[in-house]
Amino acid sequence: MSAGIGFVFPGQGSQSVGMGRLFYEASEAARRTYEEASAVLGYDAAALCFEGPAERLNLTEFTQPALLTASIAAWRACAFDGIQAVAVAGHSLGEYTALVAAGALSFREGVSLVQKRGRYMAESVPAGTGLVAALLGLSSELTQAACQEASSVGLVAPANFNCPGQIVIAGEKAAVERAIELAKAKGAKRALPLPVSVPVHTPLMKQAADRLSKDLAEARWTDLRIPLVNNAEAAVIRSAADIRPSLVKQLPSPVRWEESVRKMVSMGVTTFVEVGPGTVLTGLIKRIVPNAATFNVQDPASLDATRAALEARSSG
């Protein structure tokens, strides 16, 4: 019997110089993907992904279309769209990749949207005024309490509920620093600032969400071929009408990744395949659902290994 397969797509933090190069060299479909992206973006997307420099690749406005492109290039090289998946999901920016993979949006429109999304995010908070930090080993309740107490010096809120014992907080610099101190006092094993200046998935992104809303309204959406579990509510989305409000809500709301993965399991997913650069989501899923089968596809070698494992599971 075929295992219930769910595809997941990475977000910011998974990028690295050189990502996608092996697929580009091996797959005509991947090469066309980079060419399409370059035509939309107005610069060489392949050169950015393969050669960097890292300082440019790590700027939000460039990271987002680069990751979308690398992930969809991998998806097209896999030809996984022939597999009947139970559900898809993506982490933050990866939700747009999931929507393209599920047929809700053309790749070209997706690239254009995330380029604008990255720009709006970067412009919504003055450089150096925001901070993002990871809290390890603290419950969601105590994390919420630390943020609430630190709000006396500025805005800080949970941004990503990633997996048991790993929550990311974000907000104004002084408030995040205060929340880190409080989290340590409440028993966090570690609390460390992350090299991300844009406090995404907090109310500070409301202005960016309002700007993005107009672009989302102009995009051509279609019903999804594969159901999507969204970030903002860990809810199942199947129709075009539900996509735009979900994406508008996503930007100023926390990513409910742990809930999203558990929702996919409740839908029948037993095998998770991460498509795109890195293995960040694979690691999180192993901590959320230890008995789930996890695979990743970021180059031809990992594709071959994943395909062989999936075929063995389906025939076993």
From the list 80, 26, 16, the residue with the least C-alpha distance to 50 is 16
Q: 3-state DSSP helix/strand/coil percent for the chain, to nearest 5?
A: 55, 15, 30
| 8 A C-beta contact, residue 298 and residue 30 | no
Share of the chain above pLDDT 90, in %: 91
| 8 A C-beta contact, residue 171 and residue 154 | yes
Residues whose CB falls within 8 Å of the CB of residue 266, separated by 6 or more in sequence, listed in order: none
What predicted TM-score, i.e. pTM, was given to this entire model? 0.96
- Using the predicted structure, report yes or no on whether residue 62 has a pLDDT greater than 70: yes
- Using the predicted structure, report yes or no on whether residue 1 has a pLDDT greater than 50: no
pLDDT on residue 311: 86
d(CA 238, CA 103): 11
Full set of structural domains in the chain with CATH? 5-124+204-315 (3.40.366.10), 130-197 (3.30.70.250)
- Using the predicted structure, report yes or no on whether residue 316 has a pLDDT greater than 70: no
Residues serving a catalytic function are 92, 201
Kindly report the average pLDDT of the chain as a whole number.
95
- Confidence class of residue 313 from pLDDT cuts 50, 70 and 90? confident
Q: Higher-confidence residue: 82 or 292?
A: 292
- pLDDT tens digits for range 251-291: 999 999 999 999 999 999 999 999 999 999 999 999 999 99
